[in-house]
Structure 1
């Protein structure tokens, strides 16, 4: 299926942000929408590639910008400098996340009543935080995301369905964190799934990831399995 992309400028507290919307070619609006949350690098071509794949499945995909227009990281140091202020202030991060859900829900091309979100690495943490916050999403999918709770009030019950795809050999999310997330979601009465993949490290969805000494490595088989699982999940929650 052919797809098309257009930029979407929005703001929060006077600060400009630079998102992008990818739609199935010829689709009749409004279509179910999927927000795509980037990793620590910020808005990226890789994020847009996932958005095009989602559009190929028939969804409208909104590439979220969490850092601000033109703010991108090209080195680990730059990426960390952009991400750390938000990781360090989860209340401010939650406000930004909820705002962008409102932005996406207000786009005429998307069905605001049928929205989901996916995220990678830092973005994986973000979509879990949206579920915790009680955002109006049908489902969220976290790929090699961080599971650390935000230390903020959690929706009870969590009505957003949750699926997490996790590399078992990811040093950033040890097994204790996996168990803790399951316990947290169970306590909040969520409909949840955690899929753990043996032999997979952090960033298993990112073809450019190649630092196994740091526990960061693309894993093609796991990437395929996780994406296939997500497609089935979206088909369930965005009916």
Structure 2
């Protein structure tokens, strides 16, 4: 019986999900509770990476990225943009909720700023911080650059590229990497061209990499659009960028 208990316990350890290697960090925006996730190396005074998840909130792609970044020597913190009790259950609710933050970009920037504060509180070196984001989070990474947050760089991974035309282009002081799938039907040519102009007008240090034969969610293994080869290339490009700006 004791042997059986030991075997079952070992199996439980081996089969732990990635989320069990991450610690929940609760923080507040007024009366709204937010619950982010941080890697186990928190508190060690290391370069830090803020991860902004896709439109359904904290997901497996964000969790996996955090654990991989930990292996590379970064403290990773996954932001909770929506807050407790506001997690979308389907695409329709995700589109509505993420859309509200795209419209009220200052509210989105505020939630990103709160998450950056948490990343620093978890031990990330203040002068060695980057932001990466997927999909809706990729839009957020660009918003971090537009807001002028004190980060060394941002990576937008299949993110929305456009902003409201009423917003003027402004200087962009942080480095920008955009990883854009060639067949992304959610991004118009107009939005793409507008971003290029915005980066040029802002005199930014920027780079856009376009991935062939790839749809919108090409980096997500759970998506029907997943492109393993291009996803691996994109991740390597992300790590190269982070190595350059943070180490």
Identify the residue that residue 193 of structure 1 maps to in structure 2: 207
Select which of 111, 117, 138 maps to 1:124.
Answer: 138
Q: Distance in 2 between matches of 1:104 and 1:209?
A: 29
> Hey, what does 1:177 align to over in structure 2?
191
- Which of the pair is proportionally richer in strand? 1
2:47 to 17, 24, 32: 32
User: Is residue 76 of structure 2 the alignment partner of residue 68 of structure 1?
Assistant: no
Residue 136 in structure 1 maps to residue 150 in structure 2? yes
Residues of 1 paired with 2:160 and 2:56: CA distance? 15
**TM-score, scaled to structure 1:** 0.89
Could you tell which deviates more after superposition, 95-104 or 34-43?
95-104
Aligned to 2:174: 160
Name the larger-Rg structure: 2
Instruction: Quote how far apart the aligned CAs of 1:155 are.
Output: 4.5
Q: Gapped runs of 5+ residues in structure 1?
A: 211-216
Counterpart residue number, 2:25: 8
More helix, by proportion: 2
| Greater CA drift, 193-202 or 4-13 | 4-13
Aligned pair count reads 228
- Aligned partner of 2:107 in structure 1 is 92
User: 2:12 is matched with which residue?
Assistant: none
Unmatched 5+ residue regions in structure 2? 1-17
Cross-structure match for 1:227: 235
Q: TM-score, normalised by structure 2?
A: 0.86
Partner of residue 213, structure 1: none
Give the CA deviation at 1:203.
0.6
